[in-house]
Amino acid sequence: MAERLVTLDRELTDVIARYQPESGAVEEVFVNANPQSTLKLGQARGVCLLALARTGMPVAEYATRLVKKAIVGTGAAEKTQVQAMLKVLLPGVKLAGADAADALAVAIAHAHLVR
């Protein structure tokens, strides 16, 4: 796990250096049925927060329901609905899995909510 977190930090730091975003956003941790999964998600989220904060940029945190509402129009949307809307908002983009779709949804929600 430690090696995976180091890789996450290094790759996120590289992306930040390459694209120099003005701000960052992460999804708040939700407690799911598996406590081990929740813990691992929290650790990865912590690495992301650190990588973003290290640059001095502002970092926003959004609840899952708020992200879904910003993308689909309802906070109770299913993951498949969010992914379908992402395909409408970003035609031609190939989603590289559920985690990538979640990250794009947070980014789009952030762009809409900070206006």
The reply to whether 33 and 43 lie within a common domain is yes
pLDDT digits (tens, 9 = 90+) for 18-61: 999 999 999 998 777 888 888 998 999 999 999 999 999 999 99
Same domain, 73 and 17: no
| Domain co-membership, 50 together with 68 | no
76 and 46 in a common domain: no
102 pLDDT tier (thresholds 50, 70, 90): very high
CB 50 within 8 Å of CB 56: no
Domain count, the chain: 2
Asked if residue 110 and residue 91 are part of one domain, the reply reads: yes
pLDDT on residue 8: 97
Instruction: Tell me which residue range forms the domain holding 113.
Output: 63-115
Whole-structure pTM value: 0.88
- Looking at the fold, whether 78 and 113 belong to one and the same domain comes out as yes
Q: Quick one: tokens of 83?
A: 């992914």
- Mean of pLDDT values over 91-109: 92
Which contacts qualify for 93-101: CB closer than 8 Å, 24 or more apart? Answer: none
Residues 47 and 91 in one domain: no
